[in-house]
Amino acid sequence: MTTQTVQHMTAIDALLSHVSIRKYTDQPIDEATLQQILDAARRAPTSSNTQTYSIVVVRDAETKRKLAVLTGNQKHVETSAVFMAFVADLSRLKRANALHDADLAINNELSMVAIVDASLVGMAAQVAAESLGLGTVMIGGARNQPEEIAQLLHLPEGAFIVYGMCIGWPAERPPQKPRLPEAEVVHYERYQQPDDGLLHAYDAALAAHYRGEGRETPDAAWTSVMARQFNQPRRPFLRAVLEKLGFNFN
C-alpha cells in the first residue's frame, strides 16, 4: 500500500485544478477525512431548508462491485475507496408531514427541489474531497438502473439516486479537459447570443486535447458528439421509473 502525502488546497484552488480522476491507489480514506467531507457537504445550501437529500456512503467491496455493474460496468466505481450515492429524498418530508397529520404534495417543483439539493450537496462533497487531495469522478450512469440501485441501497419510497461519486487517492492526474470559451457560457447584464465560431473553436481545442492523450476523435470533437448523443431522448424510461419510486413530474 502506498501512502499519499496529503496536499490541502483552498476551495478556489480545488475548483480551478479540478479534473475527474478514475484511477486510484489502494490506500483507504481514513475516518477523519471522510467525516470532514461529510461535514462540509452537509453545510451545502438547501432549498427552503428542506434538506431533501440523503447520502449513502458505500465502502463495502461487494456493494461497490454490484454498483459498478449497475452504473454501466464502470470499473472506477469498484476500485474507488468510497462511493457516495447522492439521493434525492422526499421520504423525510413525508415523515415531517405525517407528524402533523398532513400529506406531502409531491409535484414537479418538489421533485426538482430534491434533485437540486442532492446536486448541491454532491458538488460540495466533491470540492471538499478534492481540497483534501482526493480524486473524484461523478457517476451519472447511476441513472441507468435507478430502481435496482434503490433496492441495493435499501432506499425508502420517495428516494432515488441522482448520481454517485467515486472517491479515492489519485493514481494519476490527467491534463485538464478544456471548457467551452467563456463568451459561450458567461454573459454580463443580459444574454447575448454567442457566435457559432466559438463552438468551432471549442471543437478544435477539445480535439487537440484528445489527440494529445492519444485518443481518436472527430475534428468536431464536441458538437458532433453532442449531436450524436442527444438526437434521441436519453433514458426515456426514467420518468416512469422515478414516478414508481415516488416522484411526480407533473
Could you list the residues that contact ligand FMN (CB under 6 A)? 18-20, 22, 74, 137-141, 163, 177
The CB-of-73 to ligand FMN minimum distance in angstroms stands at 11
User: Within 13 Å of residue 60, how many CA atoms lie on the same side as its CB?
Assistant: 7
Strands (E), 124-176: 135-139, 159-168
Query: Which CB, 133 or 140, lies closer to ligand FMN?
Result: 140
The CB-of-109 to ligand FMN minimum distance in angstroms stands at 21
Query: Which CB, 137 or 242, lies closer to ligand FMN?
Result: 137
The CB-of-166 to ligand FMN minimum distance in angstroms stands at 8
**193-199 — which CB contacts under 8 Å span 24+ positions?**
199/223
The CB-of-36 to ligand FMN minimum distance in angstroms stands at 22
Query: Which CB, 20 or 50, lies closer to ligand FMN?
Result: 20
Query: Which CB, 128 or 138, lies closer to ligand FMN?
Result: 138
Whole-number Å distance between alpha carbons of 127 and 15? 7
Nearest to 163 by CA among 127, 128, 117, 129: 117
The CB-of-163 to ligand FMN minimum distance in angstroms stands at 4
Percent of the chain as helix, strand, coil, to the nearest 5: 45, 10, 40
Whole-number Å distance between alpha carbons of 132 and 188? 33
Query: Which CB, 95 or 228, lies closer to ligand FMN?
Result: 228
Count other Cβ atoms within 10 Å, centred on residue 178: 17
Contacts of 10 (CB under 8 A, 6+ apart): 131
DSSP 17: T
The CB-of-56 to ligand FMN minimum distance in angstroms stands at 16
Query: Which CB, 57 or 225, lies closer to ligand FMN?
Result: 225
Residue nearest to ligand FMN (CB): 140
SS3 state of residue 217: coil
